[in-house]
Amino acid sequence: MVPIYMTFLVGGALCLIGQLIMDLTKPSITPGHILVGYITGGAILSGLGLYQPLVNIGGAGATIPLSGFGHSLTQGALKAVEQKGILGAFSGGVEATAAGITAAIVFGYVMAVLFNPKG
Amino acid sequence: MTAPKKRGMQTVVLNQPPVLTSWAAVVGPKEGEGPWASDFDWVLDDYNFGEKTWELAESKLMRETIKLAISKGNYQEEDIEVMLAGDLLNQIIATSFAAREFKMPLLGLYGACSTMAEALAVAAMLIDGGYFLKAVASACSHHHTAERQFRFPTEQGVQKTPSSQWTATASGAVVLDALGIGPRVTSITLGRVIDMGQTDASDMGSAMAPAAVHTIKTHFQDLQRPNDYYDLIVTGDLGKVGMALAEQLFVKDGLVPRPNYSDCGVLLFDHNQGVDSGGSGCGCSAAMLCGPLLKKMHEGQINRLLLVATGALMSPVSQFQGETIPAIAHAVAIENI
């Protein structure tokens, strides 16, 4: 069990970096770039074995941010390659993150049915 | 050979200056919390204005403002011979949808946030040219429709930069008459498109400031007027960032002593209203003109006003393609004579 303050520190640091990237660079860096960049960055770091240590010290502070999603994608793909061979590289990532993806679709759908967006 | 009413490069003078006989300004709730609430004719309670969508609300905003300007001048709708108006939405739908309930012909205009000055300029020239006796000029903008079109969905809650501006929910309309009592449009300087290579749509003030200064300088040169001729020169919506740049450019371009200068985007809101650099949108200069500024002219506190409405002429597509922002500024001289 990771102490809660470590979770806070690691998660907070990841968010701080994202905020600083937006504040200190040209406005052409949009939240969309941060989103895609964090997922890709997390996936690459995970593949290099550099993200797991962050999860070990930060727990949910490292897995909940977008980079944690990238980490899950990579780990799922690596595991599936061991079991199924090269095809696993294509299926494993989505299998490992299926709960998150399905939750996003289901809740997104429910919200779209319940509320009427204006903007 | 020069046209008889043209002066210099970009300026025209009106031989029989049309009269601004009646005007009206309607603004949204946030603008109503600003410093000029009592100078506007109507402050809306909410952004929907009783309509289903913000786009329809914006259209109604223009329609009601025009109706109000017509009735305030004791005119009937049938008296007005032509409507010149525009807004920020694609294909200027707020204007076209507003005009479908009027019987007068429409000349739809797009000058981004410079539209009010463009409408006034064209209306004044049509009247002085003898083509019409009475025209209405109008422009409007709505905060949420502009956010949706030019920026991000409001529900996404994207953070704004300090140089960004708050699109005003506001509308202004003026009735111009060949005869009557009131301030008159005496001269017009049409603006050139100036593009200094700025690409940042969240800092339109800086993109537009060079266009504004160019038009002001050309106006003084064309008419050979001293810098202190006007009681007030107001630019459209440069905001704090653009206004600071414009003041530097005045010095650089030799417009010293500095003319008595301000900006509608800076004036429209109080600094504590969370609008970053200031107000923007067609409605910003339209409502400032048709609210506080013309009221001050009517009361004689201002006798010579130069309205220099500024527009950033980019589109969402051009922004995605990384194009720079062309900017324009039209100047309309309004005087009590």
Structure tokens at B151: 């920026």
CB of A28 within 8 Å of a chain B CB? The answer is yes
Cβ contact, residue pair A119, B144, below 8 Å: yes
Give the residue from A19, A28, A33, A115 with the most B CB atoms within 10 Å of its CB, the best one to mutate.
A28
Instruction: Please check the confidence at residue B108 and state whether its pLDDT lies above 90.
Output: yes
- Strand-pair category, B170-177 with B19-27: antiparallel
- Reported as a pLDDT band with limits 50, 70 and 90, residue B320 is confident
**Given pLDDT bands bounded at 50, 70 and 90, which one contains residue B2?**
confident
Given a cut of 90, whether residue B264 has pLDDT beyond it is yes
pLDDT at A2: 87
Inter-chain CB proximity B155 and A119 less than 8 Å: yes
**How many Cα neighbours within 13 Å face the side chain of B69?**
34
What's the CA gap between B205 and B207, in Å, rounded?
Answer: 5
- The pLDDT, as a whole number, for residue B315 is 94
**So what's the ipTM on this one?**
0.72
User: Are B159 and A22 an interchain contact pair (Cβ–Cβ within 8 Å)?
Assistant: yes
Chain A CB contacts of B158 under 8 Å are: 30-31
- Residue B256 corresponds to which tokens in the numbers above? 């010293």
Per-residue pLDDT of chain A (119 residues; tens, 9 = 90+): 889 999 999 999 999 999 999 888 876 788 889 999 999 999 999 999 999 999 999 999 999 999 999 999 999 999 999 999 999 999 999 999 999 999 999 999 999 999 887 76
Q: Nearest 5°: phi and psi at B65?
A: -65, -45
User: B130 pLDDT exceeds 90?
Assistant: yes
- Work out the mean pLDDT of chain B and round it to a whole number: 95
pLDDT confidence of residue B200: 87
Q: Minimal Cα–Cα distance from B197 to chain A, Å?
A: 15
Contact by Cβ (8 Å): B35, B270:
yes
Those of residues 62-121 in B touching chain A at CB distance below 8 A are none
Residues contacting residue B93 through CB under 8 Å, at least 6 positions apart: B55, B59, B87
Q: Does B54 touch chain A (CB under 8 A)?
A: yes
